[in-house]
Chain A
Amino acid sequence: MGSNGIQKRTGGGRPTRIDQDGDLDMDAPSKTGGRGARRGGGRSIDINSAPKGPAADRTGASGSGVTRSRGGRSRGGTRKGRPTDQSMIGIKVCGWKQSKGSAEECVRFLERKTNMKFRKTSKHGDTLVIYIPPARLQAVLDWDKAKFAGVNLRITADVITDLFNTTMAAATPQNSNTTATIGILEQVLEVRYKPETRLLDLSNLGEEPLLKANGFFELNSTTSKMFPALMAVADKKFASQQAKRDAVVSVSLANNSLSSISPVTTLSLTFPDIRNLTLEGNRIADMKSMEGWKNRFRFLEVLIMTGNPIVDLPDYRHEMIRRYPRLTLLDNTLVDRPKIEPVAGGPSQNPSTSVDAKGRPILPLPTKPDLTVDMNGWVMNFLAKYYVSYDNSKDVVIKYCYTAESKFSLSVNTSAPRVEAQQGERQFWDDYIPKSRNMKRLQDTSEIISRVAVGPSEIFELWNSLPAVKHDMSNIAAWCFDIFPVEVAPGVEGVFVCVHGEFEEENKKSGKVIKRSFDRTFMLHVTGPEAIKVVSDMLVIRSYSGLAGVKVESVPTVEPIPETPVPKYEPTPEEKQTKITQLAETAGLTEKAAEDALVHSDWDLENSWDRYVYCHVGFP
Chain B
Amino acid sequence: MADFNTVATQFTEYYYTTFDNNRSQLVPLYDSNESLLTFEGAQVQGAKAIMEKLETLPFTKVLHKISTLDAQPADPSGAILVLVTGQLLIDDGEHPQSFSQTFHLIPRDGSYYVRNDVFRLVYG
Q: B38 — nearest CB in chain A belongs to which residue?
A: A482
Q: B89 — nearest CB in chain A belongs to which residue?
A: A553
Q: Are B123 and A488 closer than 8 Å at their CB atoms?
A: no
| 26 A–B pairs (Cβ distance < 8 Å), ordered by A | A42-B35, A47-B44, A112-B91, A410-B70, A411-B68, A413-B85, A416-B124, A445-B5, A480-B122, A482-B120, A487-B115, A490-B77, A496-B102, A498-B118, A500-B123, A517-B123, A517-B124, A523-B104, A538-B83, A548-B124, A549-B123, A550-B124, A552-B97, A553-B97, A569-B41, A570-B39
Q: A112 — nearest CB in chain B belongs to which residue?
A: B91
List, in ascending order, chain B residues with CB within 8 A of A412's CB: 68
Q: What is the minimal beta-carbon distance from A373 to any residue of chain B, in angstroms?
A: 8
Let me know if B62 is at the binding interface, CB within 8 A: no
CA distance A549 to B95 in the complex (A): 13
Q: What is the minimal beta-carbon distance from A452 to any residue of chain B, in angstroms?
A: 6
Per-residue A-contact encoding for B22-33, CB less than 8 Å = 1, 0 else: 000000000001
List, in ascending order, chain B residues with CB within 8 A of A340's CB: none
CA distance A554 to B85 in the complex (A): 23
**Per DSSP, are chain A's interface residues mostly helix, strand or loop, or mixed?**
loop
Query: Range of interface residues on chain A?
Result: 35 or more
Among the 9-residue stretches A160-168, A211-219, A435-443, the one with 4 or more Cβ atoms under 8 Å from chain B is A435-443
* Contacts beyond the supplied A521-B102, A542-B85: 11 A-B pairs with Cβ under 8 Å: A407-B72, A517-B122, A521-B81, A542-B67, A550-B123, A554-B93, A565-B40, A568-B42, A569-B42, A570-B43, A570-B49
Let me know if A362 is at the binding interface, CB within 8 A: no
CA distance A519 to B99 in the complex (A): 10
CA distance A488 to B77 in the complex (A): 10
Number of A-B contacts (CB under 8 A): 195
A residues whose Cβ falls under 8 Å from a Cβ of B? 39-43, 45, 47-48, 112, 115-117, 369-371, 407, 409-418, 437-440, 445, 448-449, 452, 480, 482, 484, 486-490, 492, 496, 498, 500, 517, 519, 521, 523, 535-536, 538, 540, 542, 545-554, 565, 567-570
Q: A492 — nearest CB in chain B belongs to which residue?
A: B75
Which of B33, B45, B85, B104 touches A496 (beta carbons < 8 Å)?
B104
Q: What is the minimal beta-carbon distance from B59 to any residue of chain A, in angstroms?
A: 8
Q: Are A409 and B39 closer than 8 Å at their CB atoms?
A: no
Q: A37 — nearest CB in chain B belongs to which residue?
A: B45
Which of B5, B42, B45 touches A47 (beta carbons < 8 Å)?
B45
Q: Are B40 and A535 closer than 8 Å at their CB atoms?
A: no
**Per DSSP, are chain B's interface residues mostly helix, strand or loop, or mixed?**
strand
In the complex with contacts A482-B41, A542-B85, A417-B70 CB distance below 8 A? no
List, in ascending order, chain B residues with CB within 8 A of A445's CB: 5
Q: Are B66 and A41 closer than 8 Å at their CB atoms?
A: no
Q: Are A570 and B120 closer than 8 Å at their CB atoms?
A: no
Q: What is the minimal beta-carbon distance from B17 to any residue of chain A, in angstroms?
A: 14
List, in ascending order, chain B residues with CB within 8 A of A47's CB: 44-46, 49
Q: What is the minimal beta-carbon distance from B28 to any residue of chain A, in angstroms?
A: 18
Q: A480 — nearest CB in chain B belongs to which residue?
A: B120
